[in-house]
Structures are given as structure tokens and as C-alpha cells.
Amino acid sequence: MTSDYKTQKGQEFDRGAFESLLKRKVFLWQSFEPYGAVKGLFDYGPPLETLEAEVINIWRDHFIRSEKMMALKCSMLTPYEVLKTSGHVDKFADYMCKDPKTGEILRSDHLIKEVIESRLSSDKEARGEKVEVVDDPKKKKKASKVAKTAVKLEDAKRTEYEHMLATLDDCTGDDMGALIKKHDIRNPGSGNEVEPPVAVNLMFQTQIGATGKEPAFLRPETAQGQFLSFPKLLEYSDGQLPFASASIGYSFRNELSPRSGLLRVREFLMAEVEHFVDPESGKRHPKFHLVKDVKLPLLSRKTQNDGGSQTTTITIGEAVETKLVDNETLGYFLVRIMLFMQKIGIDMTKLRFRQHMQNEMAHYAADCWDCELQSSYGWIECVGCADRSAYDLSVHMKATGVPLMVREPLKEPYRVEEWTAGLDKKRSGPKFKKDAGKVQSALDALTQDMREKLSISMEKEGKVSVDVPDVEGGKVELEKDLVSFQKESRMETMREYIPNVIEPSFGIGRILYSLMEHVYWTREGDAARSVMSFKPTVAPVKVLVVPLQKDARFASLLSQLEQRLDDDALSFRVDQSGVSIGKRYSRNDELGIPFGITVDYQSLEDNSFTLRDRDSTKQVRASLDQILEAVGKMCRGKETWAEVSKKLPAFEGKEERDE
Ligand SMILES: Nc1ncnc2c1ncn2[C@@H]1O[C@H](COP(=O)(O)OP(=O)(O)OP(=O)(O)O)[C@@H](O)[C@H]1O
């Protein structure tokens, strides 16, 4: 059995071997291992911690610096009221099904997907087709309980199942309940029926202070802090829109069934952008013309609705023009996301943009696209890019009364005529006493039409009746001496509006995991020799320093070399162990170190060194100055090995024979 997922060299991807490399080279492990480890929490070891820092540096440069965004650091602890207003308290939930006999909790959409995929793969097997291997041993065990022998499906059933998978993201909780019932979907682990889906909130609740009077949550996204900072951002940008804020920080989600390693965890680093734009500008982007000819692989909502999963590669200009992508700003960010992925070394054949299904999008969202990366776990959302309209600023403004909006002078002031409705305070106070405020509020809430109608009634009848909620009888009678309706004329010089927000939201852990799978491969004919082909710009360690042999005569040259690398701020690792030079290169290829500098006997004579390229294993020989200049340029992304190897003389050394 083979898997559809291949390494960048077209080889079978062996997840077991890949995971064992990550473990051996201490990229990551489950947190609190000595206490039995906690699901959904991971610690990063030196290579992954540094890889993350390098990727974040590129993210900061690509977005914050290059797009002139305003970087923010907002609190992670968030008061209850903020997340109540944003809708997270009521709606930030996943559906889960309980196995009543084992007590196991299963995420409803994952359960349906797993069972239906296993039925489809059993059908494929029964029809003698190539079947995707289930790499996860736990899944394998579960799957075997579902279908011990291959079962062939009717054509109509197969089509129904395929459509179900393509449209699963569009399902509500009730829809999933109906599917589970209709297709007799059971817990694959036990074979038991499961209870209907129930929504479970994903936020970690806590409290601020000891009194318990200030309930709070660990934030599930960085966005809310950025929205509430809007007045400060507006001030900093001198009241000029569009502008964007950006925040890199941790978020927390109490995932129901964390699995797939770093792809679904309970604490993760996010990098989020909130781009604020005037809705009347048509959400145009000032730099769209620079990217309009860039082609993107797009999987539209329509294709998914039709049960398909094929992408169409078109220019973003065409996608926006045909309204496939709602607006220029959203389109601009899709391109920037793709270019970022390319910069850090994501395999472009394993990247696509998938449009959200109608039910998958928040009700207020105008359009939403996920940047998905393919890994051995399938296509996984790594960046969500949503047009959130004016929703967040509007709800927070309503809840707090703080004006989260823009007031700007009108280019062409105009005259407005407005009806006012005012109570005579001296007379109304004694008459309505504590209800006087409520009466004025009811008058304030009247539309212009209503005010005009009431003024006509007042003229005719000398009194009017006004609905006032919360007073006895729900109405009050107002005579001429108590209220006056007047038509006033004034010049309107200011425009007020609530900006719309386009939000690209990156999950850094998912990107790092996908990147590690994308750069992993094994040397031809020797599966034991794995390589992590990190681009020099992101590689956690840039240079491997290897003396040809253990020989005291190399000591002074080595320390000179180390000092120079240090001066150039190039991270390095020295491998002086007794094993052959080939083995030393090989085990450091697993760490993804892009370049190796060897100190040999010729170095002692003429101060020249060899420089080895990890991916091709080719070498050049040159002076230390030339080598350091080349390495520095390659690590800054300013030169490639192909260019360097043309400039510097090749070296066919004895070292390679040892590999
Ligand atoms: N549990 C998680 N573990 C790791 N990364 C996550 C997790 N949840 C979300 N992310 C990351 O944060 C980004 C933005 O979050 P968003 O709320 O759009 O995700 P989501 O739609 O809830 O993801 P999913 O549907 O996979 O749970 C995602 O694109 C993803 O990269």
C-alpha cells in the first residue's frame, strides 16, 4: 500500500522515520513528559525553537516592516465581557459526540470524516484500486475495527460519501447529527453508537484576582486586543486609513481531541493582521496593481459544493475582477501570504487557497479563504484570511459606548435638515420624576419620520402619545408645553464610519510542521540518510564546522574560524567527534545545516577551506574571506549555491568518499 503524499523528491513519505528524526534531533516533544505528558501541549527543542524565531523574523519583515503595519502586544488574559461581546462566549465551540459506554469524547466532524474516509478506502480496496495508507498506527487499529474486510459500495453511495466529505465544513451541528444517524456512524475505536453532537466551548476560563468577581479567559485569538486598540492606532496613523495592525502572540484553545501533533494543539503562536479599510473605498488596495498578475491555486466554494476538490490557477487580478475573491484587499493579502510561504521554503505544489463554504463562514463575514498546506495528514488550514466586515468594531462600540470609528472632514460639506424632539426639563422633571430620563431616551430613539408625524399631530390635537418601554402602561401622553418638535437646519462637515476589517490569521505551529515535512527527504539508495533541506535563510544552524581529523594542529585555525563566524553573526556547530567526516556531515544534514566548512591539512598550509552544500553535497575551495562572504550572502537570501559554485573553484575532496 502506498500513500499519495510524497517528499519533494517524489519519494514515499515515511511518517515513522520522519517522526523518529524529529525525536532524535530533539526538534520537539510532548510537554511534561516525566509526568506522563499532556495531550495537545508541546515543548520545542533548540532546532525548532530557532526555526520558529527565523520564520517569525521573516514574517515581521514581510508584513510588519514591508507593509508598514503597526505592531502591537496585547494581553492574553481577557475579561469575560470582551469575549461575551465578540460572540466567543456563546459561539466559539466545536461539536462533540460522546461514546456513552466508554465515555470517550469525539469531535463530530472528525468522527464523520474518519469513518466515511475509511469506508471509501475499503471500497477502493474491494475494487482493486491503490489505497492510501493509514500512517497513524492508532488510526490503523481503529480503522480495522470498522471494516475488517474490504466492502464495495454502490455507485450512488460512493458519490454521496464523496459529496459529504467535500461539504462537511458546511454542516451545522444538527446536520452532522442527521448524517451520523443516517449513515450509522459509530465510534471507530469501540464500534458503539454515539450520542448526538453537542456544542462545547473551546476557551480556557479563569479569573482575575482572588475574589472571583472578574471572570476571564485565556484569549483564543489575538484579534480582540487589536480591535480594542483601534482609537490608539487611528491616532498613531494621524487619522488616515487604510492601515493595519499586527500581533504575534500565544492563543489558547481547549481542543476536544488534540491529535496530529503540532497541527492541533491547545496553546499556539499566532501572527495576526487586522487591516482597517473604509468600506466606501470598495476595499481597494493601493498596492494591488503590483500583484495583480500573480497566479494562485484557488479552490472555490462552487467547486466544493459540486463535490470537487480541484484547484484553478488564475491571476488574482482575474479572481477579483470576476468576484471569485470579493475585493482587492483580500486578494492582495492572499498573494502576500503565498509569497511569504515561498520565502520560508514551503513547497508551492503543496499549497492552495480554499474558499469557505457558506455555513463555515461567520454570519458577518463577506468572504473568507484559507491557505491550506498539504502534509501527510492531508490538506490543513494554516492561515485563515477573512473579511470580517465592520462586525467587531460595531459590537464593541455598542457594548462600551467608546467610538471605535473614524470621523473625518467631508470633502464637500452639505446642509441637513433635522427634526429635534426635546422635553422641557423644568416641567417634565416634576411630572415624570424618575422616569424623565426614559421619556427623553424614547424621544431620542424616534426616527425623523416619526418626529415629523408627531409634530403634525401636536399641531392638530395639542398632545401626542409616545411609546416608552419600562414605564407603567408602556406609553406617556405629552402636551404642547412638555415637548417641542422643531425642524433645524445645519451644515454637516464631518463623516463618521466604522471601518471594515480584513484579517489574515497565521498559525505558526502548523506552518512549521508543514515546512518540516516539505523539506524532509532521504538520499538516493540510502533511506537511513535523511536530509532536512531548510532554506539557508530559515535554517536553525547555518554552518557546520568540521576538522578533517582530531588533530591538535587544527586548533588555532578552528578558533580563528569560529571567531570570524561569530563576528558575522552566523550560527554554527562544531563537530569534532572521531567518526568519519561523511558520517558527521550526514548526521548534521538531519538538522538541516545548509553549509559545512572543513578545516584540513591544506588549510594549515594556505589558509584555504572547503565549503560544502548540504543538498548537492558538492564542495568548493576558497579563502576564508571568500567563503564567509558567500555563506553570509546565501544566509541572507542574496545568493544561491548555484551562483557561488560558478564563482569559486570546485573541490573534489577525499571527504566525499567517506560519506
Ligand atoms: N488547535 C490549533 N492548533 C494549532 N494551530 C491552530 C489551532 N487552531 C487554529 N490554529 C491556527 O490558527 C489559525 C487561525 O485560526 P482559525 O480560528 O481561523 O482556525 P480554525 O478555523 O478554528 O481552525 P480549525 O478549523 O482547523 O480548528 C489557523 O489557520 C491555524 O493555523
DSSP string, 119-172: HHHHHHHHTT---B----HHHHHHHHHH-SS--PPPHHHHHHHHHHHHTGGG--
**pLDDT band with cut points at 50, 70 and 90 for residue 128:** confident
pLDDT at 3: 61
Which pLDDT score is estimated for 379?
Answer: 96
Minimum mean pLDDT range among 228-242, 346-360, 426-440, 454-468: 426-440
pLDDT at residue 146 tops 80? no
Residue 141 has a pLDDT of 44
The CA 92 to ligand 1 mean position distance, Å, reads 12
- pLDDT number for residue 135: 44
Q: State how far the alpha carbon of 639 is from the alpha carbons of 85, 607, 644, in Å.
A: 50, 24, 7
Q: Is the beta carbon of 350 within 6 A of some atom in ligand 1? A: no
Residue 147, pLDDT > 70, answer no
- 541-658 CATH choice from 3.30.360.10, 3.80.10.10, 3.40.50.800, 3.60.21.10: 3.40.50.800
Q: Is 382 in the pocket of ligand 1 (CB under 6 A)?
A: yes
How far does residue 381's CA lie from ligand 1's centre (Å)?
Answer: 7
**Cell numbers placing 333:** 493579502
**pLDDT band, residue 657 (cuts 50/70/90):** very low
Nearest CA to ligand 1 atom 12: 507
Q: How high does pLDDT run on average in the chain? A: 91
For a pLDDT cut of 70, what percent of the chain falls above it? Answer: 95
SS3 313: strand
Confidence of residue 279 (pLDDT cuts 50, 70, 90): very high
Check whether 394 has a pLDDT greater than 60.
yes
The pTM for the full model equals 0.86
C-beta of 507 in contact with ligand 1 (< 6 A): yes
Ligand 1, atom nearest to 265 Cα: 3
pLDDT at 148: 58
Domain boundaries, the chain: 93-200, 416-495, 541-658
Q: What are phi and psi of 650, to 5 degrees?
A: -70, 155
Contacts of 521 (CB under 8 A, 6+ apart): 7, 8, 9, 11, 530, 531, 533
Q: Is CATH 3.30.40.230 the classification given to domain 93-200?
A: yes
| pLDDT score, position 655 | 47
pLDDT band at 70 (very low <50, low <70, confident <90, very high): very high
Q: Which CATH architecture describes the domain 416-495?
A: 2-Layer Sandwich (3.30)
pLDDT 10s digits, 565-580: 999 999 999 999 888 8
Q: Which residues contact 531 (CB under 8 A, 6 or more apart)?
A: 520, 521, 522, 523, 589, 590, 592, 614, 615
Residue 561 scores a pLDDT above 90: yes
For position 149, what pLDDT does the model report? 73
Ranges 66-70, 246-250, 454-458: which has the least confidence: 454-458
Min mean pLDDT across 160-174, 325-339, 340-354 is at 160-174
Q: How confident is the model at residue 627 (pLDDT cuts 50, 70, 90)?
A: very high
Cα of 380 vs centre of ligand 1, distance in Å, is 9
Q: Among 85-99, 157-171, 607-621, which stretch is predicted with the lowest mean pLDDT?
A: 157-171
Distance of CA 382 from the midpoint of ligand 1 (Å):
7
- Nearest-angstrom CA–CA distance, 59 and 66: 10
| Confidence check: pLDDT of 285 > 50 | yes
- Taking a C-beta distance cutoff of 8 angstroms, is the pair 48, 512 a contact? yes
Q: Which residue among 202, 221, 510, 513 has the greatest number of ligand 1 atoms within 8 angstroms of its CB, and so is best to mutate?
A: 510
Task: Please report, rounded to a whole number, the percentage of residues in the chain having pLDDT higher than 90.
Answer: 75
Residue 139, pLDDT above cutoff 60: no
Between 126 and 20, residue with greater pLDDT: 20
Atom of ligand 1 nearest to the CA of 381: 29
CB count within 10 Å of CB 415 equals 8
- Out of 143-152, 346-355, 457-466, the most confident range is 346-355
pLDDT digits (tens, 9 = 90+) for 447-481: 999 999 999 999 999 999 999 988 888 889 898 88
Ligand 1 centroid to 337 CA: how many Å? Answer: 16
Specify the ligand 1 atom closest to the Cα of 380.
Answer: 26
Between CA 490 and CA 560 the distance in angstroms is 79
Residue 430's pLDDT is: 87
Among the ranges given (442-451, 505-514, 635-644), the one the predictor scored with the smallest mean pLDDT: 442-451
Please report, as a single letter, which amino acid is at residue 18. Answer: F
* Rounded distance between C-alpha atoms, residue 544 and residue 530, angstroms: 16
Q: Which atom of ligand 1 is nearest to the CA of 371?
A: 29
* pLDDT one-digit tens code per residue, 497-516: 999 999 999 999 999 999 99
pLDDT value, residue 270 = 98
Ligand 1, residue 272: give the atom nearest the CA: 14
Closest-CA residue, ligand 1 atom 23, reads 381
Ligand 1 binding pocket mutation candidate from 381, 502, 513 (most atoms within 8 A of CB): 381
pLDDT given for residue 205 in this prediction: 96
Contact indicator for 377, 260 with CB cutoff of 8 Å:
yes
Q: H/E/C letters for each residue in 338-398?
A: HHHHHHHCCCHHHEEEEECCCCCCCCCCCEEEEEEEEECCEEEEEEEEEECCCHHHHHHHH
Residue 225 and residue 91 in contact, taking contact as beta carbons nearer than 8 Å: no
Average pLDDT for 412-422: 91
Per-residue confidence (pLDDT) for residue 144, from 0 to 100: 44
**Do 482 and 431 form a contact (C-beta atoms < 8 A)?**
yes
- Assess contact for 353 and 339: CB atoms under 8 A: no
Q: Is 264 in the pocket of ligand 1 (CB under 6 A)?
A: yes
Helix, strand, coil % (nearest 5) of the chain? 40, 25, 30
